[in-house]
Structures are given as C-alpha cells and as structure tokens.
Structure 1
Amino acid sequence: MKGLRQTFAHDTWVMPYLRKYKGLLILVLFLGFMTFFSGGALMFNSGYLISEAARRPSSIIYIYVPVVLARAFGIARPSFRYVERLTSHNWVLKIVSDFRKKLYQSVEKKASAIQRSHQTGDILSILVDDIEHIENLYLRTVFPMVIGWLLYVFIVIAIGAMNWVVGILLLLLLGVIIILMPLISVTTNGVREYRQHQIQHTFYTNLTDEVLGLGDWLISGRYDDFMALQKKPIEQIAKLRRHDHYYQWWRSFFVQVMVLLSVLVLLVWSAYSFTATKSLANWVAAFALAIFPAVSPFLNISQGASEWPVYRRSIERVNQLDAGGDGHPVKQTSLSEPFKDLSIKQLSFQYPDGDRKVVDHISMTIHPGEKVALLGPSGTGKSTLLKLMVGDLTPDDGSVEINGQNILSLQDVRSSLFGILDQQPYLFDTTVMNNVRLGNTNASDDAVKDAIAAVGLKDLIESLPAQYNTEVQEAGQRFSGGERQRLSLARILLQDAPIIILDEPTVSLDPITEKKLLDKVFELLHDKTIIWVTHHLAGIAHVDQVRFLEHGNFDMQGTPQELYKQEARFRQLYDLDRGK
C-alpha cells in the first residue's frame, strides 16, 4: 500500500485522466456491472424457469413471466456488453490521444538532452511498452477490479440480507478470490511480469544500439554472435511466458474450485431454506446457477493485479520524463520581460552514483550579446553544466536564473529562450524545407529560404533537382556533416532565441570545414548570447571570455587575450591547436 501511495504521490499520467473523464469512467463501470448483473440474473431466472417447467404446470401463465425475463436478460447482457466495450474503448482512445500529446510535450522539453539522458531503445521502450501499459492499466486492472468488487459487495449483501451466516461464508470464500489471490498474484506472477518487462526493455535498448552498429558487426565477421545476442532475450521471455501460462492455469483452477465451494454453499442453503413446498423448490437451482457469471470478473481481478508491478514501473518511467531532477513535476511560469542576464549562483551538482561533485559551487553571469567559451577535458562536467543551465537537471545547491527567475520555472517557454546546436543535429526523413521550418513552424517559405541562404546553402539546395523539396533521407544522410550543421544553424536562425548553446558542434568536422562553420556561426549570431562548449581552442578568438572547467570549478577564466598572456597552460593549448 505504501508503494501504491508513492507511485501516485506525484503522478501526472494516471490520476489526472481518472478525474478528467470521471463521468465516462462512472458510465463504463456501471455498464460493466450491469453486463455481469444481467448474466447473473439470466442464470438465476433460467434456473427458476427450468425447475418450474419441469413440474409441468397446468397453464403457460405460470412460466410466462420467467420466459419473458429470460428473453429480456438474454438481450440485456450482450447489449450492455457491447455498449460497455464501445464506451471503454472510447475512453481509451481519448486517453491515447492525450498520452501521445503529453509524451511529445514531455520529450520536447528535454529535447536538448534527450540523447544524453536516454538511449534510443529507452524512448522506443516508452513509446511501445510504457504508454500501452498505462492504457492497459485502465482496461485490464482498474475496470475489472472495480467491477469485480462491486459484484462481490452486491452478492454478499444480497445473500447476507436473507441469511447472515451464508453471507459471511460467501464473504470468506469469495474474499479468497477477491483479496487473497490478487495479493499472491502480485508477489509471484507479478515478479515474472516485471522481469519480462526488464528483459524486453534491455532488448530494445541493446537491439537499437546493435542495429546502429550493424556494419561493424558484419565487417568484423561476427554475424553469428550478433544473432546469438538477439536469441538469448527472446528465449528468456519465452521461458517466463511458459511459467506465466502454467501459473494462470493453476490460478484459474483454484478460482473455479472456490466458486464451486460457493455454489455448494448456496445449494445447501437453498435446499434447506426452499424445500418446504414444491413451488419453493424452484428457487434452489436459481440461487445455485446465479454465481457462475461472476467467475470471469473474479478471474480478471487476479490477472490485473499480477500485472501491477509492470504498470507501476511504466508509470514511474513516464513521470520521470516531465519531472525535475528530484522527481517532482516542475511548476511552469513564463518570462515577464526580454532577456537581461543569465546568472549562475553557487551551483553544485553530484550524480547519485558519483563519488564527487561534478559541479562545485560555480558562479558566473552572462549578459545579452556576450560570447562565452566553456573549455575543459572530456568528463570534467561541461555537458552537466549545460543540462543545469537549461533545466534538464536540478542542482543540489544554488540556482540558474534568467532575469532573476529560476530556470526550472521557465521550462514551458524554454524553446523561446535557448537555441541549441550540438555535435549531432538530427535531420528528419522529410524535405529540406520541413527540416529547417522545425525552428519556427509559423515561418513562411521565403523566411525559410532566407535562413538557408544566410548559412551559405542556397546555391547547393537550388542546384538539386527537387531544390527545397529534396528529401534529406534518414538522419540527413543525403548531406555531409558540415551541410547538416548548416541546416541546423538555419533552424536556429528561424527560432530566434536570445541564448544560443553550441555543444561542440564541430567535433566531427575536418579543420577547414570547422573553421568555415565557426566563422559563419559567429557572423550570423553576432547579436545573440552564445555559450560555446568545446574541448579545444580553434576559433577561440570569436568569444569575449573563456572559462576553463576542471574538477568541478573554473580553473582559468578571462578573455582569450588575457589568458594567452598570463596562463602558460592556455598558451600551450592555443599554440598546439594552431599547429605551432
């Protein structure tokens, strides 16, 4: 129960939709209850009708009403079932629509760091599994469990009103199915379900990684090893599913036994209570048969409960997408005035599994139009500092503020504050025009063409047969690395954000292409505030100040000219990059 409360303490994916569509939820539960109630009433009425007809009444009038009721309940059950299915799936389709939109918005807010914080397989697992699991949480757990509980309460109260001893016996016998079996399912079969989810999630992650490197597998002649890696998780999942199948069979058998005992209790009680006359004896079969339609919802309760560990993990994973570093959803506000300054105040951060602070009480202020270079060897915390700046991570101490407002409260307007050009900009498998327009979906065709011209690609694009409607192919394979960077730069020009982050955008380029791209970037973004993360000093003359990050602190800081004169280490690195 404690785990259940913790899961939903800061949930933004399940409970909000239960409240948003509560009217439709109540209707679904009512229709579900009436489906099984009609089935039970049909069996109850049929038991009476068969017994009464077997007595060969002298007039049809004696069985006319039961005959009519049999037809009525026979029609009512599939009708309620059909409408319940329509209503519940209408509910789910509304939820799916909201989920897809919410997932996109959650990923969009972390787009600048999504590849650093999640592998491709992670996102694939969320898209394929986690969203489906939350949908199934309603269809296979919430709805069946509530309907089953309603039937349980109705049966116990109805029988208990006629005989409290029998009511208590049914309370205990059916309680084993309603309460004990779901708890056992959670602790036994639920563990297998959770293990299967873990294997499948790891399989997605590893498979995408291995497929992306498929060429290297083939070149190294390790095709058989590649196939063996895929077979192992598939065999593990198949084994778990076999165990799950066996467990479900035995669970179903046990539920049937408990229902049989309940039927025997009703049969003994009704035989004792309704055999004083031949007419009363007609009710014996009615009570004995009425319990059978409840078998299905009672079985569904245990099955839904056994899947809860998987659903819980999925709920936690999707909630992490739109939560701050502490796991709590971030309150959204907006920037009240144009950008004035970005202040980093005594910022500290340490990863939970780390043994040192990656960022240790760093402070600095960046003003509009200022160009700042963040340097340092790999692994010194440059990328972590960027994540803290844009709000992808929550600091342990200190804060990042824009115009005095904490960046964590500005996530809703982050795209209007930051433009990001990193080392691997992604181009989608669509046209050049669509890819560049991603920076501003409201931009006109002329504005997009002007941005492309500004980055020096006008002649290249217009020389192609389809020109601006040229398909860039998956991940932009149609163009070279430098050309992909320029198309991404055109996006940033359209976006027109005041702060531009350059996260080692030239790391994969040759020196000549690197110099041309850097010159073009600083030329086009001369009026923007630029935070440039790099590991070497090519193009450093473009910036106003340099901050050298090492051991969580700024080891060197100042203008490039000052550091070249005063710091031998900086001078050595600068000359080395220039080939001296």
Structure 2
Amino acid sequence: MENTPTNKEWLKQDQWVKPFLKKYRVLLFFAIFLGFLTFFSAGALMFNSGYLISRAASLPENILMIYIPIVLTRAFGISRPVFRYVERLVSHNWVLKMTSDLRLKLYQVLEKDAIFFKSKYQTGDILGLLSEDINHLQNLYLRTIFPTVIAWILYVFLIIGLGLFSWWFGLCMLLLLGIAIFLLPAVSVLVNGARQEKQKVAKNELYKNLTDNILGVSDWVFSQRGKEFVHSYEKEEMKLHQIDKKIKDFNHLRDFLLQVLFGGITIAVLAWASIRFPGNHGGAANWIAAFVLTVFPLIDAFAPLPAAAQETTIYRDSIKRLNELPEPQQSVQEDTPILLENTKIEIKDVTFSYKGSSKKVLNQLNLTIEPKEKLAILGRSGSGKSTLATLIRGDLTPNQGELLLGGVPTASFGDRMTESIGVIHQTPYLFHTTILNNIRIGKEEASEEEVWQVIEQVGLKEMIEKLPDGLQTMVDEAGLRFSGGERHRLALARILLQDTPIVLLDEPTTGLDPITEQQLLDTFFDALSEKTIIWITHHLQGIQKMDRVIFIEDGLLEMSGTPAQLLKENTHYQELYAIDRGTN
C-alpha cells in the first residue's frame, strides 16, 4: 500500500501556501490586527453604550458625569466601521496579490509543462484544478485563516480581561467559549469535513464526466445512447444532491446549538455581572448592561469558526493537488532534432488510464498505420478514440506498451511533433490578423507565392482574389466573417504549407450541412492524397475514401477492415451505416 503523507508532512512540503504567507506577511499581520481592532471596537461600543444607558437612566446630577462614556461611544462608533473598511481593503489587497502570484505560478507550470501535465489529467480535471482549487485557496485565507486567528486573539484577550475581574468566571468563559472555538469546529471537521471531501470529489467527477461527454456528445447521439447519457448524469447528480442535503442538515443543527450556546453565555454573563456588581439602581449596577451587551458583537467573531474549520478538508485536498504539479523548471525539454527513417506508426500493447481512475481507456491495443495510409477511427464518446489520437500526437504517454513514430516513442518528440503531425480540429481558430498571417502560422518564412499555391489547392483562390485587400484582408476575431467550410479550408491551407507527412482530422466536418461536408471532404482527401490521414469521425459520409476503418469500443479494437469489406461482412458496421443513412 502506497504511503500517504500526513497533514504535517504536506504542510512541510507545501510550495503553494507557505511561500505567499511569508512573502506578504506584513500585510497579513496588519489585516489580522485591523480585524481584531474591528471586533474590539464593536465590543467596546456596546460596553460603553450599555454603561451610558444605565448611567443616564439613574439621573446623574450633571451631564459631565456621563461625558466620558458619551465621547467613548462616539469614538468606538466611528472606529468600528473605519477599521472594518480598512481591514477589508488590506485583507482583499493581500489576497489579490497572493492569488495573482498563485495564478502566475500555475500558468508557468501548465505552459512550460503542458505535455507532461496532460499525460496525468483529463480535460475535466484541468478545468476543475483551474476553476475550483485556486478559488479554494483564496477562500482559505479569507474564510479560515483571518477569522480563526482573529477569534483566537479575541479569545485570549477576553479570558485575560475577565480574569482580572473574577478568576473563577474567567475559567467558566474559558470553557464556554472554548466549546464555540475548539469543540464545535472539531466536531464539524469530523462529521461534515468528510462529507465535504466527498462532495468535492463528486463535483470534480461530475464536472470531468460532463466536460468529456459534452465534447463527445455527437458520439452519444450517433450511437443512439442519448437517454443513457442523461440517465447516468442524473444518477451522479442525485448522489451529489444527497451529500449536499446531509451537509446542510448538519449545518442547521450545529448553528442552532451554537446559538443556544451563545444564549447560555449571555445568561451566564448577566448572572455573574448581577453578583459582581450588586445594587438595585445606579452605582455598580450600571456595569451589568455594559458587560451583557458586549457579548452580542463578539458572536460575529466566533460564530463562523465551525463552518471555517470543516472546510479545511477541501483546502487540504486543493493544496495536495497543486503540490503534485511539477515545478516549472522540471519540465524544460531539450530542443534536439529527431531524424525519422519513415512515418510508420506502431501501437504495441498500449494500455492507458487517466490518473486517479481505474478505468482503462485503452486496453492492450495493437495497431499499425503505414505511411500514406488513410485510416478512419470510429467509436462512441469515451471509447478511447480521442485518447488514442492524443497518444499518437505524443501529448500522452501510455501506462504500458509502446507507441512509436518511425521507431521513435511519440512522447519524446515534445513540441517538435508539429513537424511530423498536423491537426485540423472541429472548430479551427482564425486570429485577428491578415489572411496571409493566419495561413503563415503553418510556415512563418513562406513566401506569398507559396501561400497562393496552397490557397489554390484548397479552393479559396477565387474568393480571396475578389476581396479588396486580398491576402492583406483582416480576419475578424475567430474568423467569424468566414463560413465553417471556409475556415476549415484555411486550416487545411496551413497544414499544406507546413507540409507534415501525417495529418490528423479531428471531426472536422461536424456541424456542416451535407453538401458543404462532402465538398470539404473531397478537398481534404484530394489535397492530402500523398500523406498519412488519421480521421476521427462519428459520421460515415466520405468513409469510402478510406483505406481502412477501425472501431474502438471500451478501449478495445472491435473491428477493422476496408469500408467495402466491413459493409459486406460486419453486422455492426452495417447497422452504423444504416443509421447514418437514415434507413434504420
């Protein structure tokens, strides 16, 4: 069994929280001090107000007898919102500085080590890390560290202060307030902390599955399993709802007990003050209201602690996930050239599963793609076809087996893989610059003559020549002035200019009408006739142009053969063909 580091070890090894605590410690201490002054001013305001009301009700002989309480009430009444406002400015400024550095560090890790990082996490995991964990660390400071430290300081200050009046009542408050500050938070961590950890895991899993399935929703529709997808999602959502309900029920019970505790503390202070300051009217009895009213603003300081404590489980998990990321300097790859003898792709006994998942996305897969072969990969969402394409590009490393391009492991290519494999995605992105610059992304040093040659190959020469500025025409953000088919043709022009021996088509015709789709496929296959084509698709239009078709199901190669052979001999392919043609 793998050894799991303890909380103390995680804290010692942490590189995502401690550095920023040290870097901005002056601002942190200042914010905590201002937070203490805020609650001190609130308590002092109620203390002076209580004394002032009682003293004024006893009909003092002269207004000067209550002058000092009046001045102090005004002073603390002004200082409380001022300290609160400044504390919020300082604490949020501190948190924004910290999270800014935190996000920069995370970006540097992802940007410099993107290939290595993606070999461990799925798309949903990455999105969960970016959207959840950074926010959790921000809340760690604002909702846990600040209120907890401030409450502890107030706790010590109150016990010492009460002890000066009465040592035995100081001990009583030590125990009663200790329940709110230590016992209830500990119980919250034990009971609800575990539930919140389950909640976060369930949310991340739901987020991951929903992200991956939405990206492949066309495959669910194509395989006529849309209802199964909705049912599985609703089932997982119901589990999350049940966890949420248990957490809320416990929170309501805990908050009720907390209010009962504060009610008991108020009664205890009233009873003690009545004994400590005896008298029916005036004199020492004026202090009774002062002490009792002080309890109420202090409730705001102690009440959030149980909720803050139970969230530490979530924060610990976020810190753990972030600390598992490599340091930026660990991912620097040497820019060494890789010489290929051929472009044969060999997939030998490849098994792959994502980190944290026991499911094998690919299981002992064997496949060889010969140079200039035209291969179509079919399969429903989650079957492993997109993972296989990512492995071929070298963005993932197989857990077992080998994946070779020209006899070289694909994962060793790094960024140089773009010299061997070009990719046309489902939604090609065009940048807000000229048509010439958009196409030259494939080959920055290309001449205009070379650009015109590839434009003619993809059938856009006549259209671009009619534009007032020709190749210098500015492209709108994301290329919105062009149709879907035109954007794909411009993406193909990039690939042709780049002249890679292998081209991966990742469902490039999704969302196009049948006529545009067929025209685009004809252009693709004619322009890429001398290259290896790996075509991921859920649609069988144009499939007859492929040399071979394979179908991946649950990580296994379920069928393989030429389109004509499969249509004649394979029942499953015949059903898919009938569904695609609308004859079933």
TM-score range, shorter chain: 0.5 to 0.7
Query: What is residue 315 of structure 2 aligned with on the other side?
Result: 311
Are residues 1:242 and 2:256 paired? no
1:172 to 158, 172, 175: 175
Query: What is residue 274 of structure 1 aligned with on the other side?
Result: 277
> Deviation string for 1:312-348 (max 9, x for gaps)?
222223333xx3xxxx536459799997999xxxxxx
Query: What is residue 156 of structure 2 aligned with on the other side?
Result: 153
Could you tell me how far apart the structure 1 residues matched to 2:287 and 2:398 are?
68
Shift of 1:40: 0.8
Shift of 1:507: 12
What is the letter of the counterpart of residue 428 of structure 1?
Y
8 A contact 1:121–1:209 mirrored in 2: yes
> Deviation string for 1:101-157 (max 9, x for gaps)?
333332222333555543332222223322222221111111111111111121122
Shift of 1:201: 1.5
Query: What is residue 478 of structure 1 aligned with on the other side?
Result: 484
Query: What stretches of structure 2 of length at least 5 have no aligned partner?
Result: 341-350, 364-386, 401-410, 509-519, 536-584
Query: What is residue 296 of structure 1 aligned with on the other side?
Result: 300
Shift of 1:303: 0.8
Query: What is residue 112 of structure 1 aligned with on the other side?
Result: 115
Q: Could you say what secondary structure the match of 1:280 adopts?
A: helix
Query: What is residue 211 of structure 1 aligned with on the other side?
Result: 214
Question: In the TM superposition, what are the counterparts of 1:81-480 in structure 2 within 5 Å?
Answer: 81-112=84-115, 116-219=119-222, 222-275=225-278, 278-320=282-324, 323=325, 329=327, 331=329, 421=422, 427-428=428-429, 430-431=431-432, 459=461, 462=464, 467=473, 469=475, 478=484
Q: Could you say what secondary structure the match of 1:188 adopts?
A: helix
Q: Which has the larger displacement, 332-341 or 112-121?
A: 332-341
Shift of 1:61: 1.2
Could you tell me how far apart the structure 2 residues matched to 1:392 and 1:154 are?
57
Distance 1:491 1:294, change over 3 A: farther
> Deviation string for 1:200-226 (max 9, x for gaps)?
212222222332333344455555444
Could you tell me how far apart the structure 2 residues matched to 1:153 and 1:422 are?
64
8 A contact 1:35–1:78 mirrored in 2: yes
Could you tell me how far apart the structure 1 residues matched to 2:183 and 2:417 are?
54
Distance 1:256 1:337, change over 3 A: closer
Are residues 1:19 and 2:19 paired? no
Could you tell me how far apart the structure 2 residues matched to 1:183 and 1:230 are?
34
Could you tell me how far apart the structure 1 residues matched to 2:440 and 2:315 are?
36
Query: What is residue 529 of structure 1 aligned with on the other side?
Result: none
8 A contact 1:436–1:448 mirrored in 2: no
1:70 to 73, 79, 92: 73
Shift of 1:27: 2.2
Could you tell me how far apart the structure 2 residues matched to 1:510 and 1:300 are?
61
Distance 1:337 1:110, change over 3 A: closer
Distance 1:68 1:226, change over 3 A: same
Q: TM-score, normalised by structure 1?
A: 0.65
Query: What is residue 538 of structure 2 aligned with on the other side?
Result: none
> Deviation string for 1:289-323 (max 9, x for gaps)?
22222212212111111112222222223333xx3
Distance 1:337 1:253, change over 3 A: closer
Distance 1:514 1:316, change over 3 A: farther
Could you tell me how far apart the structure 1 residues matched to 2:139 and 2:496 are?
42
8 A contact 1:436–1:487 mirrored in 2: no
8 A contact 1:7–1:316 mirrored in 2: yes
Distance 1:479 1:117, change over 3 A: farther
Shift of 1:460: 8.3
8 A contact 2:113–2:332 mirrored in 1: no
Aligned length: 487
Q: Could you say what secondary structure the match of 2:304 adopts?
A: helix
Could you tell me how far apart the structure 2 residues matched to 1:101 and 1:501 are?
37
8 A contact 2:192–2:247 mirrored in 1: yes
Q: Which has the larger displacement, 30-39 or 112-121?
A: 112-121
8 A contact 1:182–1:301 mirrored in 2: yes
Distance 1:115 1:393, change over 3 A: closer
Could you tell me how far apart the structure 2 residues matched to 1:34 and 1:459 are?
72
Distance 1:435 1:256, change over 3 A: farther
Q: Cα RMSD (Å) of the superposition?
A: 5.5
What is the letter of the counterpart of residue 245 of structure 2?
R
Distance 1:114 1:71, change over 3 A: same
Query: What stretches of structure 1 of length at least 5 have no aligned partner?
Result: 343-348, 359-382, 397-406, 409-413, 494-499, 523-532, 535-580
Distance 1:231 1:139, change over 3 A: same
Could you tell me how far apart the structure 2 residues matched to 1:19 and 1:477 are?
53
User: How much identity, in percent, do the aligned residues show?
Assistant: 34
Q: TM-score, normalised by structure 2?
A: 0.64
